[in-house]
Chain A
Amino acid sequence: MNFDLSVPTQLMQALTPDVFLMVGAMALMLVSALRPDSDEHQRLVGYCSIGVLLATLGIVIWFGSRGFTSGPGVIAVDGYRLAADMLFILAALGAIALGIEYNGREGIWNAESHVLVLFATSGMMIMAAARDLMIVFIGIEIMSIAVYVLAGMNRRSPRSAEGALKYFLLGAFSTGFLLYGIALVYGSTGSTNFTTIGHNIVQYKLAHQGMLLMGVGLLLVGFAFKVAAVPFHMWAPDVYEGAPTPITAYMAAAVKAAAFATFLRLWRESFDLLDFAWLMPVWWIAAATMIYGNLVALAQRNVKRLLAYSSIVHSGYLLVAIAAGTNSGSAAFLFYLLAYTLATFGAFAVVCAMSRPGDRDLEITDYEGLWRVRPGLAIGMAICMLALLGFPVFGGAGFWAKVYVLAAAEATPFRQLMPLTVLLVLASVISAGYYLQIVRVMFMKPRPEGAQVPAATGALTRLVLAISVALVILVGLIPARAVGWARNNQPTAPVTLSTAKAP
C-alpha cells in the first residue's frame, strides 16, 4: 500500500518497525529495573532483547515483502530503509549475543546495557527512514545518547569511562556543527525536507549559493565525525579501545552504517546536483582516511585498537562508493556494509573469546600459535581478516565488496575518482601488512611457553562467529543474491535533479 504520510495514523503505520522496537525497548527497560543487577538478570534481559530484535526483523522483512511505498513526507518507506534496518538489526543481534557472555564475565551486570542497544538501534532505524533533516537529528540523538552510555558501561574500567566522556564531549561538539549545517541549509532553501531541498535547489538555482554550500560542508563534518573519517576520527581509537568489546563491534559496524546510510540518502536525494562542490572534499577525506588509518594501523600491537583503525580505514573505502554518486555506487555501498558488518562481528567475536577478565590478552602476541590450541577460533579469525583485506575466495564476501566498490567508482562520470580507486587498491595492499600479520602469528608461530589456553568459548560467541563466517563465505561463493538485494534497495533517485543535470 501507499502510505499517505500527511495522515497521522498512516504515518504511524509507516513507522511500525521503529515504533515496535522502541516500545519493546521501553518495556524491557522497565523489566530490567524490576530486579537488582545480577548475572542472571542481565542474561534474561539480553535474551528478551534478542527476542524483540528478531520480532522487529520479522516486521521489517514483512514490510519489505509487501512492497509498501509512501507519498511525500518526513519519512521514507522504501527498500533502502528496510535494507539498512536489516543491517542494524543484524549488528544489534551480534552485539547483544556477544554482550550476554562478555558482560557476564566482565561483571557488567547492568541489565539495561542490552536495552540501550535496542534504543540505539531504533534511533538508527529512524535515521535510515528520515527524509527530513529534523528527523535525522532526532534519530542521531536517540542513537548517540544510547551509545555514549554504552561506551562507558564498564564502570570498573577507567579507560571505558574516559572514552565515553571523550566521545560525549566531542560528539556534542560535532552535533553543534551538524545542527549549524541544518540551519544554514534551511536558511538557504527554506525547507528541511530532502525532496523539497533538492527540488528548491533546482527551482531557484541555489547551487552556487555560499550559505547552502557552507551548510553542506558542516553537514559533511557532522557525518564524517560519526563515521570516524580522518581528520574527525580522533575520538575513535580511545573510545573503541575503552568500550566493552561487543559495544566496540556495534559501534564499528552499526553506528557507522547508520551515519553512512543517512549520509547517502541525503546526498543522493538532496545534494546530487552539488557534486561540483562536495566531490573533492569527500575525495580528500576518503584519501586521507585510507592512508592515515592504514599506516597507523600498521603500528598497532593491540588487536582491539588495530580493529579500531581498521574500521577507520573501511570508512574511507565506503566514502569512495558514496563519492561515486550513482546507483551502482549505492548498491556497492550496501553490499560493502553487509560484508563489513559480518566480518567485523566475526573478528570481534574472536576478540571476545580470546580476552580474559579485565580485557587482558588483547596483544597480537597473545594470538601466537592460536591454531594449535583453538583451531576453530583461528580459522574464523583468519577468514574475517581475509574478508576485511578483500582476499578472493577465502575472504568470501569481502573480496566482492571491494570489487563492487571499485567497479562503481570506475563507472562514474567523475574522472577524478580514478586516482582514488588506485589509492584504494594500494591501501588494501598496505592493509595486508596487519591483517595477514594476525593470520601469520596464529598459524605459523608456535604457542609461546607458558601462554594460557583461552577459556572455553561460550555458546553464543561461537554462534556469532559461526554465523558470521558462514555468511561471509556463502556470500563470497554466491554473491548474486546479496548483490540483487543491494541493487534493488536504493534511495529514490532524484528525478528532477537528473533531468536538470543532463544539459
Chain B
Amino acid sequence: MMLQEPVVTGHPLADTVAQYVWLLPVLPLIGFLLNGALSMKAAAKLGPNDPSAADHGHHGSASAGVHDADHDDAHISHDDHPVVRHKYAGLVSLIGPGVLLLSFGLAVAIFFAMRSVDMAQPYVDTLFRWMPVSDMKINVALQLDPLSMVMVLVITGIGTLIHIFSVGYMQDDPGYPRYFAYLNLFVFFMLLLVLGANYPVMFVGWEGVGLCSYLLIGFWFSDKANADAGKKAFIVNRIGDFGFLIAMFLLFANTGALDFAGIAANIDKLPVGGAVVTAICLFFFLGCTGKSAQIPLYIWLPDAMAGPTPVSALIHAATMVTAGVYLIARSSLLFSLAPVASLTVALVGGLTALFAATIGLKQWDIKKVLAYSTVSQLGYMFVGVGVGAYTAGVFHLVTHAFFKALLFLGSGSVIFAMHAAYHATHNHADDAQDMRNMGGLKKHMPVTWVLMWIATLAIAGIPVFSGFVSKDAILGAVFERAQGSTLANASLLGIPGSTLLYAVYAFGLAAALLTAIYMTRMMLYTFHGPNRTGADAESHLHEAPWIMTGPLVVLGLLSAVGGWLNLPEFLPLGPTGVFDKWLEPVVGASTARIAAGGGALAGSTEQALIGTAVAIAVAGIAFAFVRLKPAALVPKKDSPPSFGFAKVLENKYYVDEAYDKAIVQPVVNGSKYILWKGVDVGIIDGLFVNGSALLARALGWIGSQLQSGQIGTYAWVLVLGVIALLGAFVRVH
C-alpha cells in the first residue's frame, strides 16, 4: 500500500503542462453541466430556417420517431415546413464541441510535453483521497503514460470531429442540448476510464460510459424499440460488470492493492499461471465481453444502432466499445502471467471476428452491417491483446477508430440525405437505412462516396491504408506466437496452445476475406448501380452540409495514412515501429514475457503471410464485384424473403431468439410463477409482509398500551429496565 503515495514529485512531467491533466475530463464535465442546464430550459421555439443549409438539409434527423409529430402537418410545399430548433441551439453548438476542442488542445500539449521526457514511470496525479475503509485506501488519481495518452488523443480527437458532425446532424432535433449534454458526459466518463490510476476510478468511468450509452441509445425514447435497445445494452453490460467487480475483489484480496502501481509492486504475490491470476483475468475478460461486445455478450451492440448515428460512431465504434481492449492492455502485466486466460481472449476474439463477419454478409440495414463489422473488428483487437501483441491490438484500436468513425459518419450522411429526401416527398413508409432502398448515391454524394471507399479499403486491409498495417501486425503476431511462446506451450481445455493459435490465425484470415466481401457489398448496394429511392425522392438527394462533410474529410485522411504511425519493417516508407516504441514502457515487459521462447518470424515466412493477407483482401473485393449485382436489387418492399443459410444469416443465427428461449423466457416464467406467484405472493406477502405487519401491529399494540401517555407507566418501565440492567452487572460480578 506504500505505493499509493503519488509519484508526482520528481517525475519529469511534474512541472509541465501535464499538471493540468485534471482539466482533460473536467472540461467535458463543465460542458455537460452547461448543456444540461440549458436542456432544462426545455422551451423549444420555432427557429428560423438555417440559411447555410442547402434546400432540404435542414430537415434532417435520422429518426422517423422524432418526426412523427410532423406527419399530420398539411404542407403544400416543404419549404415552409416549420423547423423545430431549440432556443439555445446556437449556444449549445458552441459549448458542446468547444469543450471537446479545448480538451483535445490540452491533450496535444501534454502529448508534446510527454514526447520530450523519459516516460519509464507513469505520471500519477492524485486529486484527492476517496474511500478509506480500514486498510483499503483509494484515491481519485489520474495516470498519464503512453497508453493513456494514446487513448486520450483518440477520444478527444475523434470526439471533437464527431461533436462537430453532430452539430449538423442533430440541428433540428428538439432534444439538441440534451444530446450534447449526454455526449459531453460520455466523454467525461470515457476520459476518467482511461486516465484512472486505479481500477475503482476506472470502474466509475466504465459504469459512467455505460450509463451514457444507455441514455444515448434510448435518446429517442418515445419509440419503444429504442428504449428497449437501451435497456438491453444496460442489462447485458451488467453481466460483464459483475465480472469486473469480482476481478477487483480478487485482486484486492490477493495483492492488497487496486492501483496499477501498487499491483505492479505486489505482483509477486500472484504465482505465474496460478489459478488466482487466471481467475482475475477471466473475470476481467467477462467484463470486456460485455463492454466490447464479444461472444457471448455481443448481442446488445447491433441493437444499440437505435441511437443517433454520431453516437454509434463515437460510442459504439471508436471509443466505449474499445474499453475492453484498453482494459486488457492496461492489465497486460496480469494477462502475461495467465497464459490460459490470454489464450481464451485470443480464441474468443478470433471466433467473434469470424462469427460477426458472417452475419454482416446478409444484413440490409446499413448501420447493422457496420455494427457487425465493429463486433468483428473488436474481435481482431482481442486477438491482438490476447496473443500478447498489445501494441498491435491497441494500434488496431486506433486505426479502427479512424476508419470506423468515418464509415459510421458517412452512413450518417447517407441516412441524413435519404431521410431528407423521404421527408421532402412525404414518404414515411420506407426505411431510410435499408440498402435495398438506396443505390446509385455516388452521383449525388460524391465526397461521401470517395471517403467511404477509402475507409472500406482500409478495413479490408488493402496495402498502405491504415487498416492493412494494423491488421497485418495482429495476424503476424498470432503466427509468431503459434510458432513458439509461453502461449504455444500452454493449453486450453486440453488443446495445445500452438494448435489453437493456428486456428485463431485461420479464423482471422477467413474473417478478413468476409470483411472485404461484406464491405464491398455495402458500398456497391449503397453507392453503385441504379437508384432505387424512386424518381420523386431522387431529385432531393444531396450531399450533407460542410459541417458534416468536413469531419469526414479529416477522418478520410487519417484512415488513409494512419498506418504511418506504426510502419512495419518490410514497408519502410518512413520511420518504422513508432507506435511500438511509444508503448514500450507500458507493455514491453509483458509482451516479452509472453513471447519468451519464440523468435521473430523468418523473412520469407513473413512475406508469405503478408502476401496471403493481401491476396485474400483483394480476392474478397473482386469476388463481391463479380458476384453481386446491384442492378438486380429491388427496394425493400418488393424484396422476396430469403431462404436457406442466407435466412439464417439474415436472422443473425437466431442468437437473440435462442437467448430468449434459453434464458429470458425461463427467467421470466420462473420469476412469474415461482418467484412472484409462489415466493413473493405466497411466502413473502403471506408470511413476511402480512406476518411482520401483524407482528408490528401486535408490537404497536403492546407499545401503545405501554405508550399510554401515563407518566407512571413510563417510570415503571424505566425502573424495570434499571433492575434488569443492574441484574446483568451483578450477574457478571
B697 near A299 with CB under 8 A, answer yes
A217 proximal to B (CB < 8 A) = yes
CB distance from A21 to the nearest CB of B (A): 32
Give the CA-CA distance A235 to B717 in the complex, in Å: 11
Q: Does A218 contact B (CB under 8 A)?
A: yes
Which of B132, B699, B725, B733 is close to A292, meaning CB atoms less than 8 Å apart?
A: B699
* Tally of B interface residues using CB under 8 Å: 36
Contact partner, B725, options A165, A221, A295, Cβ 8 Å: A221
Chain A residue nearest to B706 in the complex (CB):
A234
B720 at the interface (CB under 8 A from A): yes
B707 within 8 A of A: yes
Contacts of B733 in A (CB 8 A): 208, 210, 213, 277
Contact of A277 with B732 in the complex, beta carbons under 8 Å: yes
**Chain A positions 255-284 with a Cβ under 8 Å from a chain B Cβ:** 276-278, 280-281, 284
Give the segment of A33-41, A170-178, A194-202, A342-350 that binds chain B: A170-178
A164 to chain B, nearest CB (A): 12
* Contact present for B707 and A234 (CB under 8 Å): yes
Q: Which residues of B contact A467 (CB under 8 A)?
A: none
Instruction: Out of B699, B713, B725, name the residue touching A281 (CB < 8 Å).
Output: B725
B134 touches A221 (CB 8 A): no
Q: Are B711 and A170 in contact (CB under 8 A)?
A: yes
Judged by a CB distance under 8 angstroms, whether A214 is at the interface is yes
Q: Which residues of A have CB within 8 Å of B732?
A: 213, 276-277, 280
A217 and B706 in contact (CB under 8 A), knowing A295-B699, A479-B131?
A: no
Chain B 134-183 residues near chain A, CB threshold 8 A = 134, 140
Q: Determine whether the beta carbon of A478 is less than 8 Å from that of B130.
A: yes
Cβ-closest chain A residue relative to B697: A299
A214 to B722, CA, bound (A): 11
A333 contacts B by Cβ under 8 Å: no
Question: B721 touching A221 by the CB < 8 A rule?
Answer: yes
Interface residue ranges of A205-251 to B (CB < 8 Å): 208, 210, 213-214, 216-218, 220-221, 224-225, 231-232, 234-235, 237-238
Output the nearest chain A residue to B702 by Cβ-Cβ distance: A296
Asked whether A280 lies within 8 Å of B728 as measured between CB atoms, the reply is yes
Chain A residues with Cβ below 8 Å from B76 are: none
Report the Cα distance A342→B699, complex, angstroms: 30
A214 touches B728 (CB 8 A): no
The reply to whether the CB of B695 lies closer than 8 angstroms to some CB of chain A is yes
Q: Does B115 contact A (CB under 8 A)?
A: no
Nearest chain A CB to B276's CB is how many angstroms away?
24
B643 at the interface (CB under 8 A from A): no
Bound Cα distance from A218 to B724, whole angstroms: 11
Cβ–Cβ contact A296 & B699, under 8 A: yes
Given A231-B720, A232-B718, A166 and B725 contact (CB-CB distance below 8 Å): no
A480 lies within 8 A of chain B by Cβ: yes
| Contacting pair A299 B699 (CB below 8 A) | yes
Docked-complex contact A328 and B129, CB < 8 angstroms: no
Q: When the two chains form their complex, are residues A177 and B715 in contact, meaning their CB atoms are under 8 A apart?
A: no
Bound CA–CA A166/B729 (angstroms): 28
Cβ-defined partner of A407 (8 Å) among B134, B693, B707: B134
Known contacts A296-B696, A479-B131, A225 near B707 by CB under 8 Å: no
Nearest CB of B to A440, in Å: 14
- A25 CB to nearest chain B CB (Å): 30
Instruction: Name the contact of A480 in the complex, choosing from B132, B715, B721 (C-beta under 8 A).
Output: B132
Residues from chain A with Cβ under 8 Å of B726 in the complex: 214, 217-218
Chain A residues, Cβ within 8 Å of B249: none
Instruction: Specify which chain B residues have a CB less than 8 angstroms from the CB of A277 in the assembled complex.
Output: 729, 732-733
Task: Report if B570 contacts A (CB, 8 A).
Answer: no
Out of A170, A177, A213, name the residue touching B730 (CB < 8 Å).
A213
Q: Are A328 and B131 in contact (CB under 8 A)?
A: no
A169 adjacent to B711 (CB under 8 Å) = yes
Closest to A208 in B: B733
Q: Which residues of B contact A26 (CB under 8 A)?
A: none
A411 in contact (CB, < 8 A) = yes
CB distance from A75 to the nearest CB of B (A): 29
Q: Is B645 an interface residue (CB 8 A)?
A: no
Contact B718 A170 (CB under 8 A): yes
Interface: A483 (CB within 8 A):
yes
Chain B, Cβ-Cβ closest to A162: B709
List A154-190 residues whose CB lies under 8 Å from chain B: 162, 165-166, 169-170, 173-174, 177
* Residues B653-702 near A (CB distance < 8 A): 692-693, 695-697, 699-700
Determine if A299 and B134 form an interchain contact, defined as CB atoms under 8 angstroms apart: no
Query: Interface 1/0s, chain B 90-131, versus A by CB < 8 A?
Result: 000000000000000000000000000000000000001111
Q: Does B274 contact A (CB under 8 A)?
A: no
| B693 cross-chain contacts in A, Cβ below 8 A | 298
CB neighbours (8 Å) of A238 from chain B are 707, 709
Check if B535 is an interface residue, CB within 8 A of chain A: no
> Does A371 interact with chain B (Cβ within 8 Å)?
no
CA–CA, A134 to B230, complex, Å? 66
B574 interface hit (Cβ, 8 Å): no
Q: How far is the CA of A478 from the CA of B140 in the complex (A)?
A: 9
Instruction: Decide yes or no whether A148 CB sits under 8 A from chain B.
Output: no
- Name which of B696, B709, B715, B730 has the most chain A CB atoms within 10 A of its CB: B696
Across-interface contacts of B709 in A (CB, < 8 A): 162, 238
B720 in contact with A407 (CB, 8 Å): no
A19 at the interface (CB under 8 A from B): no
Q: How far is the CA of A478 from the CA of B130 in the complex (A)?
A: 5
Chain B residues near A177 (CB-CB < 8 A): 722
**Which residues of B in the span 575-628 have a Cβ within 8 Å of any Cβ on A?**
none
B133 contacts chain A at the CB level, 8 A cutoff: yes
A410 smallest CB distance to B (angstroms) = 9
Distance between Cα atoms of A285 and B721 in the complex (Å): 10
Residues B699 and A481 in contact, CB atoms below 8 Å apart: no
Whether a CB of chain B sits under 8 angstroms from the CB of A138 is: no
Residues of A within 8 A of B699 (CB): 292, 295-296, 299
Q: How far is the CB of A379 from chain B (nearest CB, A)?
A: 14
Please measure, in the bound complex, the distance between the C-alpha atom of A498 and the C-alpha atom of B95, giving whole angstroms: 61
CA of A370 to CA of B416 in the docked complex: distance in angstroms?
43
CA distance A177 to B703 in the complex (A): 24
526-557 of chain B: CB within 8 A of chain A: none
B128 close to A174 (CB less than 8 A): no
Q: A217-B725, A217-B726, A221-B725 are in contact. Are A480 and B128 (CB under 8 A)?
A: yes
Taking CB atoms, residues of chain A closer than 8 Å to B695 are 295
Q: Does A54 contact B (CB under 8 A)?
A: no
**Residue-by-residue, is B20-33 near A (CB-CB < 8 Å gives 1, otherwise 0)?**
00000000000000
Q: Does A146 contact B (CB under 8 A)?
A: no
Residue of A nearest to B728 (CB): A281
Bound Cα distance A224, B722 (Å):
10
B252 at the interface (CB under 8 A from A): no
The chain B residue sitting closest to A235, CB to CB, is: B714
- Chain B residues with CB under 8 A of A220: 725
A298 to B700, CA, bound (A): 9
Which residues of the other chain, B, contact A430 by a CB distance below 8 angstroms? 692
Q: What residue of chain A has the Cβ atom nearest to residue B712's Cβ?
A: A169
A414–chain B nearest beta-carbon distance, Å = 14
Contacts of A208 in B (CB 8 A): 733
- Identify A295's interface contact among B133, B696, B713, B728, CB under 8 A: B696
Contact A166 B711 (CB under 8 A): yes
Contact check, B128 vs A478: say whether CB atoms are below 8 A apart: yes
CB pair A231–B718 under 8 Å, yes or no, is: yes
**Residue A404 CB within 8 A of the other chain:** yes
Q: Are B133 and A299 in contact (CB under 8 A)?
A: no
A206 vs chain B, min Cβ distance (A)? 12
Give 4 closest A-B pairs by Cβ, nearest first: A480-B129, A299-B700, A231-B721, A234-B714
A-B contact pairs, 27 of them (CB 8 A): A169-B711, A177-B722, A208-B733, A210-B730, A213-B730, A221-B725, A231-B717, A231-B718, A234-B706, A234-B717, A277-B732, A280-B732, A281-B725, A281-B728, A295-B692, A295-B696, A296-B700, A296-B703, A299-B699, A299-B700, A299-B703, A403-B133, A404-B133, A407-B133, A480-B128, A480-B130, A483-B132
| Known contacts A162-B709, A298-B692; 12 further A-B pairs (Cβ under 8 A) | A170-B711, A177-B722, A210-B730, A213-B729, A217-B726, A234-B707, A234-B717, A234-B718, A281-B729, A478-B140, A480-B130, A484-B129
